[in-house]
Amino acid sequence: MARIVVAEDDPKQAELIRRYAVAAGHEVTVVPDGRAALDEVGRRLPDLLVLDVMMPRLDGHDVCRVLRGAPETEALPILMLTARASEDDLLDGLDLGADDYLTKPYSPRELMARTRSLLRRHRLVSQGAARAEVTAGTLTIAPATHQVSFRGGLVECTPGEFTLLEVMAVEPGRVFSRDQLLAELHRPHGGADHVTRRTVDVHVANLRKKLEPGLIRTVYGVGYAFSTPS
């Protein structure tokens, strides 16, 4: 069970998130604005903050900026929610330190999938196990040495290619949207200062050439999924 703070000024949206998170076994506290979010996080540090961008008093970007500037909250997982889906909005949120970004309208299942992913990643980091070696069939990814081995041979990957391959190989079969992969590329370890959705497509195309075409499949209208090689 995790403790989740939801900062959302729309009561219907807040109740929807609360209901699904509670059903998943989490403890949930809902607050209606950015100032209340900071107060609640300061009162008792949560495991995850679900943060709407457009809120009264302080908006989500301001809240994120404050939290990332304080040592005690700089590593707090933050999932941002926004009705604005432009690439600039996405990059603004990631620049401020958001861990993931979900645009409205979203499905509750997608929201909970993102929540599980962030909580799992944070747990691994807390345990000192972040970026451990990944093995999927005949593919091995070693973050410590930045090496990829496929069917006994080494495969040269750029930092961006390595990041996307690692992220997808950890969860074979899961479909990652371009925005999710874009967020990974924009992290400090992602290997790029400025990336676009097109960058994601180029990296995937290069990985298919270097490994095999069917290893990363396209789910049309959604994104990409990794298939464990034999």
Instruction: In whole angstroms, give the CA distance from residue 134 to residue 131.
Output: 8
Query: pLDDT tens, 188-227?
Result: 554 444 456 678 888 899 999 999 888 999 999 889 999 9
151-157: long-range pairs with CB below 8 Å, 24+: 151/229, 155/210, 155/211, 156/210, 157/207, 157/210
Domains annotated for the chain, with CATH where assigned, are: 3-126 (3.40.50.2300), 134-226 (1.10.10.10)
Is 146 a residue whose pLDDT tops 70?
yes
Query: pLDDT tens, 10-64?
Result: 999 999 999 999 999 999 999 999 999 999 999 999 999 999 999 988 898 999 9
Which pLDDT score, from 0 to 100, does residue 95 have?
67
Please give the model's pTM, rounded to 2 decimal places: 0.65
Q: Do 48 and 115 contact (CB within 8 A), yes or no?
A: yes
* Bridge partners, 148 (sequence order): 141, 155
**DSSP 8-state class, residue 174:** P
Q: Are strands 216-219 and 223-226 parallel, antiparallel or unpaired?
A: antiparallel
Element (H, E) at 39: helix 34-43
Q: What is the mean pLDDT of the chain?
A: 85
Which pLDDT score, from 0 to 100, does residue 190 have?
47
In the chain, what is the straight-line distance between the N-terminal and C-terminal CA atoms, in Å?
35
Query: pLDDT tens, 165-174?
Result: 998 998 898 8
Which pLDDT score, from 0 to 100, does residue 139 have?
93
Is 93 a residue whose pLDDT tops 90?
no
